[in-house]
């Protein structure tokens, strides 16, 4: 029972952080110059406060991706009946989607895409529950087959308490790259050039730079590397990897977009 409770808490806490990473990057689905053109005179628009706007497909995409990730984690934590635990843990998300159905379908909320949001929300309720169920079962299976009983995905359980913060910051970078890639696709959708298609992949390269440091930190935490060092050294190594990785990923990201802009122009 204790594991199921922790799985429920972890599912929803991590989901809140990761969904926030998607929401705060919504504005970058547009080009920055377009945002400036859309900005009413005298009004300041902070991209981090943009919200979901009318991007109902983006909201559903975020829900699917986040549910799969946190469902996998919840199943790993539960270690028994992981699929069912993850599906139950998704109930708060289901309640949020039901709230959307009410707000956009039966209240006086004014939004141009109200009908679309209602349809997407109705679809999301069974879809995210199913994804949570499948991901939870997969997480349980991986945990049992590849990692020790007293760990969660090879990591001591207490590490997952602080890990949520660097994962959130790195998720901001990964989702930003994804949003800019989608924006680039819309900007060049009428161009069927193979060159443009190949160039578009350049926009995804920073995702590797954002993801790799997290993999290295996981290897340190599981003892695959630096296992002979004491906990202080390993902790400082993880801190350095995360900070250095963030700097390198940001630099590669800026360089990639600069090169992409030059190639397009």
Tell me what pLDDT residue 71 has: 97
Encode pLDDT of 143-158 as tens digits.
999 999 889 999 999 9
Which residue, 112, 111, 114, is CA-closest to 122? 114
Arithmetic mean of pLDDT over the chain: 85
What's this model's pTM, rounded to 2 decimal places? 0.86
Ordered by start, the domain boundaries in the chain are: 1-151, 155-265
Please state, in angstroms and rounded to a whole number, the distance separating the CA atoms of residues 105 and 109.
Answer: 9
Q: DSSP code of 155?
A: B
Distance CA 142, CA 263 (A): 43
Query: Structure tokens of 72?
Result: 């996998």
CA 260 to chain centroid: 24
Which residue in this structure is represented by tokens 């990201």?
A: 253
Instruction: Report pLDDT digits (tens) over 101-138.
Output: 988 877 776 666 778 888 999 999 999 999 999 999 99
- Higher pLDDT pick, 177 / 14: 14
**What percent of the chain clears pLDDT 70, i.e. is strictly above it?**
82
| pLDDT for res 253 | 83
CA 121 to chain centroid, in Å, comes to 19
Residue 257 pLDDT: 74
């Amino acid at each position: 029972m204790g594991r199921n409770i922790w799985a429920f808490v972890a599912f929803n806490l991590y989901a809140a952080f990761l969904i926030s990473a998607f929401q705060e990057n919504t504005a970058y689905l547009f080009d920055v110059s377009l945002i400036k053109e859309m900005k009413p005179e005298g009004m300041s628009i902070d991209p981090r406060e943009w919200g979901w706007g009318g991007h109902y497909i983006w909201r559903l995409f975020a829900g699917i991706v986040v549910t799969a990730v946190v469902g996998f984690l919840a199943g790993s934590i539960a270690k028994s009946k992981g699929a069912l635990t993850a599906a139950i843990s998704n109930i708060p998300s289901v309640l949020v989607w039901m709230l959307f159905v009410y707000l956009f379908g039966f209240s006086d909320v004014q939004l141009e895409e109200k009908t679309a949001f209602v349809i997407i929300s109705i679809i999301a309720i069974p879809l995210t529950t199913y994804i949570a169920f499948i991901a939870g079962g997969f997480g349980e299976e991986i945990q049992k087959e590849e990692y020790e009983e007293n760990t969660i995905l090879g990591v001591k359980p207490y590490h997952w308490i602080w890990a949520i913060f660097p994962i959130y910051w790195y998720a901001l970078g990964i989702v930003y790259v994804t949003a800019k890639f989608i924006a680039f696709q819309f900007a060049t959708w009428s161009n069927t050039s193979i060159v443009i298609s190949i160039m578009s992949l350049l926009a995804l390269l920073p995702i590797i730079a954002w993801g790799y440091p997290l993999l290295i930190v996981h290897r340190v935490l599981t003892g695959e590397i630096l296992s002979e060092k004491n906990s202080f050294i390993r902790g400082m190594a993880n801190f350095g990897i995360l900070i250095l990785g963030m700097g390198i990923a940001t630099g590669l990201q800026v360089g990639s977009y600069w090169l992409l802009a030059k190639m397009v122009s």
